[in-house]
Structure 1
Amino acid sequence: MDQFLAVRAFTAVVETGSFVKAANALELPRNTVTKLVQALEAHLRVKLLNRTTRRVSTTNDGTAYYERMARLVDEWQEVDLAIGSAQSNPRGKLRVDMGATIATMLVIPALPEFQQRYPDLQIDIGVSDRPVDLLGDRVDCVVRGGIITDPSLIARQIGVMPLLTTASPAYLRKHGVPEHPSDLENDHLLIRYFFAGSGRKLPIELTQGNERIHVNGRHFLGINDTNAMLAAALAGLGIMHSPGFMVKPHIASGLLVPLLSDWKADSIPLSIVYAPNRHLSTRVRVFVDWMVELMRERGLGF
């Protein structure tokens, strides 16, 4: 027996006063409604309805059962309608955390389209490159570049970020143009990205054919924020190795110059990370799907 369907059949009979009308309301055969109510009575081991050829009425037990179950059926239908509406019109607050450059150069400029699509959502964006405690910080999801190593989290890769090596014309006039990655080790200053908390600095790795060069090099400035790295490169403080989308507008304007173009760097995966949850909220789901679309439009997706 489908117990919930049986309860709906019973309440429909009580409310319409007829098995025929209840069957019409539920769009079920009359015999099906009759069998559902009989099965419910057998399950409860009580008689719920008095039946005559002319009318149907509730027994004392039936009245008590109806008063309790009718509220539950109404609540279920209300939730069902609300969830169904949320699929096309999600509402409420969404908390997202992402790196500064991803926020300022990719996501925020595109948010007007997201707002038009989902006007009842409110988004709080935490802008940082620090590790986030999704549960402790009450964050719904995190947009992050790099390999996600925490097995307790779910990571959906939404794109890749190719890396470019660049410097300002002022820096190159002062220090010269590197011809080989090995030149970066001793003859130049790098702008090094480091992770907040651990202080670990990202090396530069470049490949050409079967040759792979691993560079740490000297640096005057280490920074744990990608927007600040970009500002430092534009100020001529060193050579920067960073996601291409960060620097392409400045290459086009002549403020930055691409270097070592014959050498390639491994792309950085870009992922959305969220805590395991079998019932992922519609708010998070529509944001994730939108981010996938956005990365494709920007040439960073799959």
Structure 2
Amino acid sequence: MDQLLAIRAFVRIAEAGSFAKAADSLNLPRSTVSKLVQDLEHHLGTRLVQRTTRAVTVTPEGAAYHERAVRLLGELEDMDATAAHARALPRGRLRVDIGSSLANLVLIPALPDFRGRYPDVQLFLGVNDRPVDLIGEGVDCVIRGGALADSSLVARRLCELDYVTCAAPSYIEAHGIPAHPAEIEAGHAVCSYCSALTGKVFPLHFQRGEERHEIAGPSVVGVNESTAHVTALLAGLGIGQTFGFVARPFLEDGRLVRILPDWTQSPHPLQLVYPANRHPSAKLRVFSEWVAELFGRIDHRAG
């Protein structure tokens, strides 16, 4: 039995709750993963997981073993990193999940710099706007916005993003420019961004001093992916709100027009998030430092 591989397989199963997901994340056949865990249980003389037709759960003995196994694997990776001087040149596969506009407009264009610094890190990007199960899907970290609700996750604040209310010139020519948020609700088409998970439409928010307005009325079109949402605005489908870093190039070349510039929305915090029960690897640490530097450039407070 390859005990180290068996321990890795057990940890993945315990975190994913599935032999199939663990096998996929390890790039091994499911039968191999099952045999590894069986051999590990036989070696230890105790059952680590309970298997049913619907789910895989960890036994009390398995939970205690998992806690120490996670620490062991983290320390082992640090040992390897130190011995191979990998703190200077980290290596290995790093899976990162990130929203579409952040990936296409910020992260991917800057990746040649990251590759130049860390050529031995193999970066795999999941690009989408849906929430991700870090543990179940074997993702090392995600870059996402909003408040952190899950206490089992660790977040590093990267920046704050501002919002811009805008529309295409073709829309403005046909419908005019609203002078107040209430006019949008009364007689304008709204091009909304909506949740990729639930389909829920995110309302438009406006604030000026103590005055606040929320517009959650019907949308002429709702889009659940950030890059496509901007495309819909450029097509003249309605008024919408998007991040400032996304809108500014189009505002500068005239393809979008800013609306109600005196009204703002609360900034959107952007974070790098990873599971609290995973020891940050050398490659995750250097990636975290690099993206903090990168996204700091689009922080609306930076000027």
Shorter-chain TM-score above 0.5? yes
> Aligned equivalents of 1:84 and 1:268: distance in 2?
40
1:134 pairs with 2:134: yes
Q: Which amino acid aligns with 1:138?
A: G
Could you tell me how far 1:157 is from its partner in structure 2? Answer: 1.2
Spell out the pairing of 1:15-26 with structure 2 (5 A cutoff).
Answer: none
Specify the SS of the correspondent of 2:148: coil
Tell whether the 8 Å contact from 1:162 to 1:243 is kept in structure 2 after alignment: yes
Could you tell me how far 1:146 is from its partner in structure 2? Answer: 1.4
Could you tell me how far 1:289 is from its partner in structure 2? Answer: 0.7
Spell out the pairing of 1:58-77 with structure 2 (5 A cutoff).
Answer: none
Could you tell me how far 1:79 is from its partner in structure 2? Answer: 3.8
Correspondence for 1:230: 230
Between the aligned residues of both structures, percent identity stands at 42
| Unaligned stretches of 5+ residues in structure 1 | 1-75
Deviates more, 1:144-153 or 1:88-97: 144-153
Q: Which amino acid aligns with 1:250?
A: F
Specify the SS of the correspondent of 2:237: coil
Correspondence for 1:104: 104
Tell whether the 8 Å contact from 2:134 to 2:140 is kept in structure 1 after alignment: yes
> Aligned equivalents of 2:278 and 2:126: distance in 1?
25
Correspondence for 2:162: 162
| Unaligned stretches of 5+ residues in structure 2 | 1-75
Q: Residues 131-177 of structure 1, C-alpha deviation per residue, up to 9 Å, x if partnerless?
A: 11111111000000112211221111111110000000000011110
Q: Which amino acid aligns with 2:210?
A: N
Specify the SS of the correspondent of 2:220: strand
Correspondence for 1:56: none
> Aligned equivalents of 1:113 and 1:97: distance in 2?
19
Q: Which amino acid aligns with 1:225?
A: E
> Aligned equivalents of 1:290 and 1:300: distance in 2?
19
Tell whether the 8 Å contact from 2:160 to 2:299 is kept in structure 1 after alignment: no
Could you tell me how far 1:220 is from its partner in structure 2? Answer: 1.2
Specify the SS of the correspondent of 2:86: helix
Correspondence for 1:248: 248
Could you tell me how far 1:82 is from its partner in structure 2? Answer: 4.2
Q: Kindly report the root-mean-square deviation, in angstroms, between the aligned alpha carbons of the 2 structures.
A: 1.8
Spell out the pairing of 1:46-61 with structure 2 (5 A cutoff).
Answer: none
Change (3 A) 1:91 1:126: same
> Aligned equivalents of 1:168 and 1:189: distance in 2?
12
Q: Residues 273-298 of structure 1, C-alpha deviation per residue, up to 9 Å, x if partnerless?
A: 10013621111111111111012233
Correspondence for 2:207: 207
Q: How many residues align?
A: 226
Correspondence for 1:93: 93
> Aligned equivalents of 2:239 and 2:81: distance in 1?
56
Could you tell me how far 1:218 is from its partner in structure 2? Answer: 2.8
Q: Residues 97-122 of structure 1, C-alpha deviation per residue, up to 9 Å, x if partnerless?
A: 01000000010011111110001111
Q: TM-score, normalised by structure 2?
A: 0.71
1:176 pairs with 2:179: no
Deviates more, 1:193-202 or 1:280-289: 193-202
Q: Which amino acid aligns with 2:185?
A: E
Change (3 A) 1:155 1:246: same
Tell whether the 8 Å contact from 2:189 to 2:238 is kept in structure 1 after alignment: yes
1:271 pairs with 2:271: yes
Q: Which amino acid aligns with 1:174?
A: A
> Aligned equivalents of 1:147 and 1:211: distance in 2?
24
